[in-house]
Amino acid sequence: MGCKLSHYALKIGVICLIMAVSIPHGALGEPKPTKSYILTANMNLREKSTTASKIVQPMKEGEEFEILGQYRRDDFNSWYLIKTKSGLTGWFCGIYQGKIRFVEEEAPAEPMPVLHEMEEIPSVAEVEEEAPAEPMPRLHEMEEVPSVVEEPIAIGREIFVPDDYDTIEEAMESASFADTVIVKPGTYNERVEIVDGVNLVSFVGSDGNDLVDGPGNKKVLKRTLRTIIDGTGIEAPGYLVSFPKDTTAPMRLDGFTIINMPKYLSGINLFVVEVRGCSPEVVNNIVAGNRSWGGILSTGLGLGMGPPFETVARPIIRNNVIYDNYGPGVANGPNSAALVADNEIFENRFPKAREEDPDAPGIGMREYARPVIENNVCYKNGAGIGGLNLISHDQALIIRGNILHNNRRGGIGLRGLGGLQTNVKVVIENNKIYGNLKAGMRLSKIDDAKIIYNTVFDNGKAGLAIFNVEAVTIEDNEISGNLTAGIRLLNVPSVAVRRNHIYNNITAGIDFIGWEK
């Protein structure tokens, strides 16, 4: 009897299982509705998963769509193949730099009918006679794999120079997304255009990551010194190394000495390395000897270098040595949100600058550039860090943890464009600023400045010179030995000076210039 009951229970289980997988959808009611999503920002629907592709149609915040597939570039950026409510299909960058640009809006699903509500329950015999369901095809048997499983894995080819190709540029022309071009030691006299999504790195070998003496005080990788991209003799104007424009693809330039650009007859100002509207890593390089202009350019794109988020440049410029260029060491143009960190930057200059003229900064920025500048060492430049014509932005300019010394102008010099409706904010913290020939720090036409935990000493003019700044907070700084005042304040409507150690400055600790009683 026990065996019969067991057999009967097994049969009922089979009936339930087959009913679950075999009964047509029509017998169970309407299918579950497709998930719908809503944009939380204005976006562009494009033909392909790159901002370089054609725009199918602009999409507005609040617009509904369905997701058909996903193209994940990295942990922070994903493109989605979608279908709009009007029936258009295309791609948009739904996750950019970790920010999700849409939310889910799912309609409630219809409830499944219970068994007693079904018109007819199949008998055991009917179930046993039913033909078995067709097996699900394996991926390799399907004519077309759905795009949702086409998510790229960043495992590309390794292409070696000169083993596979004689030149870096030939290797780049053969490379595809996620490939890495690996360059063995030598001098390569060529201009290089990096391909979308391709890494360019120097060969490590057994000792390439050993640290050795570099051209400055910073230790550098051995592979950086022995792998050289040299612009000597290249007559046509152009950047020596450049990245593709307007892309979110991950890329890396790692471990090269990039040197020698002439002063072109056209007089055009060109950098050694160009980053325009993209976000690569530029790490472990030496960039020097540009007679045309500066070292590394980071800038956005758009009308007037305007603010569409797709064209913001967010590179990581880290652990480079940048020196002896006839322009800024690192320049942040409009719409640059670069991280500039752990670099040694020295002896960059405007060769014809007179004493009263501006001179090239180690790290510069203009207009609505808002880089984060941290843990750099800048010395013997025109200025350590300089900003010109800064205009309104919702982000503050962050300058922290830098050592800025012995520059020909000031350690930090920032000037806003000025006007009635500006929103220029800066945070300057934990910097060491000394031995500069003018002020340690000079700010003018800034709306809000926070100057905290800095050490500012032995500069040729004031430690801090704050002119025409709407509001400034100066707290917990050590300011000493400067050749005029420790702090000079002119036309600053709101100022808080707290817990500073101000001593041994020549003319005054705090000098209130031209203030009305």
C-alpha 338/C-alpha 213 separation (Å) is: 27
CB 106 within 8 A of CB 87: no
**CA angle, corner 168, sides to 162 and 172, nearest 5?**
120
So what's the pLDDT on residue 53? 61
Q: What is the pLDDT of residues 143-159, one digit of tens each?
A: 443 333 333 344 689 99
Q: What is the pLDDT of residues 456-505, one digit of tens each?
A: 999 999 999 999 999 999 999 999 999 999 999 999 999 999 999 999 99
Of these ranges, 2-16, 64-78, 500-514, the one predicted with the greatest mean pLDDT is 500-514
pTM: 0.71
So what's the pLDDT on residue 492? 93
> What SS3 string covers 14-39?
HHHHHHHHHCCHHHHCCCCCCCEEEE
Query: Pairing mode, if any, of strands 180-183 and 464-467?
Result: unpaired
Closest alpha carbon to 192 in 173, 177, 206, 178: 173
DSSP classification of residue 491: S
Does residue 444 surpass a pLDDT of 80?
Answer: yes
Can you read off the two tokens belonging to residue 449?
């400045």
Give, rounded to a whole angstrom, the gap between the first and last alpha carbons of the chain. 108
Q: What is the pLDDT of residues 351-384, one digit of tens each?
A: 988 877 889 999 999 998 999 999 999 999 999 9
Query: Pairing mode, if any, of strands 43-46 and 55-59?
Result: antiparallel
SS3 10: helix
So what's the pLDDT on residue 265? 79
- For residue 257, give the amino acid letter: T
Query: Pairing mode, if any, of strands 455-457 and 432-434?
Result: parallel
So what's the pLDDT on residue 301? 67
SS3 388: strand
Question: In sequence order, what are the residues at sequence separation of 6 or more whose Cβ sits closer than 8 angstroms to the Cβ of residue 362?
Answer: 322, 328, 329, 330, 345, 346, 348, 376, 378, 379, 381, 383, 384, 385, 404, 407
DSSP classification of residue 266: T
